[in-house]
Amino acid sequence: ETRTMGCARLLAAALLATASALRAPGPTALTLRSAASRPATVMMATDPYTTIATTLELVEEKRLLTKVAELGLLTKLEKAGLKLSDVEPVLVWAEENGVVGALGELQDDFLPLLPLLVSAAPLALPLVGAAISVPAVVHFGLAAASVGGAVVVTSLPDDSVTSVALQTFLAIPLATLFPALFVGAGVVSSKLN
């Protein structure tokens, strides 16, 4: 229970620190065309405090921290020599180097995704638990295979717009996202196993 409460406090502190560093929500103008073809201006803004409050409610509702504790993810990280207190220097570094300020400029685009990610987390946690149990060499092999898959996909003939679109849709994640995820999982797995 104390570890779960510590996680909850750390998560709340990190979210509140991020929210306080974000710029005050200002309206963003969006021009739409009405049926009469004249522009209509709509004002939109993201309130970071409301989004973070919704996110924290979802964390509590989904019992996310309890599920993390039940899966033993924190215990595995502790055995690897990683503690939640190790996150603090990263947060300080992010603040000192302007990363938190840069996030303020992206809040309207990415902050609304936070509750969605938290809602999906209970489904992803068992996958994370299983992924960190896999030997690191498998993760690194999957990263290489993913890059190889991107090479294969891009070597297919570009004979139609549909095939080019499909190649792009497949090649970008195969060449960037999946290798980064697999290498990251491999590094974590090598520390844990």
**39 Cβ neighbours under 8 A, 6+ residues apart:** 31, 32, 33
φ, ψ at 98 (rounded to 5°) = 80, 10
pLDDT in tens, the chain (193 residues): 555 555 555 555 555 555 544 444 444 444 444 444 444 444 445 677 888 888 889 999 999 888 888 888 878 878 777 777 877 888 888 888 887 777 777 677 777 888 888 888 888 888 888 888 889 999 999 999 999 999 999 999 888 999 899 999 999 989 998 999 899 888 888 877 7
3 state SS of 29: strand
Alpha carbons 32 and 131: distance in angstroms, whole number? 45
Other CB atoms within 10 A of residue 106 CB: 10
Considering the entire predicted model, what is its pTM?
0.51
Quickly count helices (H) and strands (E) in the chain.
Answer: 10, 2
